[in-house]
Amino acid sequence: MGAGDQQNPSCHEARELLLELLDGNPTAARANEIRHALSACPECWGHLTAELEVRGLVRECCGQVHAPEQLRQRIITSLTTTTVSVTRYRIQP
Ligand SMILES: [Zn+2]
């Protein structure tokens, strides 16, 4: 345990840290620590930024407009229609 000699976390640990950062509601200091640890591995850092981007987009979308029930129904209907037509297409000889 060398002082100041921080070991890079394994990718498995990094995954846990990532989840803690995103869902664990860490303090600012802890969040900083986690970001620092993740930045040691480019791959894990990529996961983090991608995840943050996606969540940011989702939050933006859902925060701005509450999907109206009509739209929801329309989406469900169009999804159902697509499934039905695909099924019919497959049944055709
Ligand atoms: Zn990694």
Q: 60: CA distance to ligand 1 center in Å? A: 28
Residue 44: CA count within 13 A, CB half-sphere: 21
User: What distance in angstroms lies between residue 3's CA and the mean position of ligand 1's atoms?
Assistant: 23
**Cα–ligand 1 centroid distance for 52 (angstroms):** 16
Q: What is the torsional sign of CA 7, 13, 18, 19?
A: negative
User: Mean pLDDT across the stretch 39-59?
Assistant: 84
Q: What is the mean pLDDT of the chain?
A: 74
Q: How close is the Cα of 57 to the center of ligand 1, in Å?
A: 24
- What pTM does this model have? 0.49
pLDDT at 2 over 60: no
Expressed in angstroms and rounded, the spacing between residue 16 Cα and the centre of ligand 1 is 11
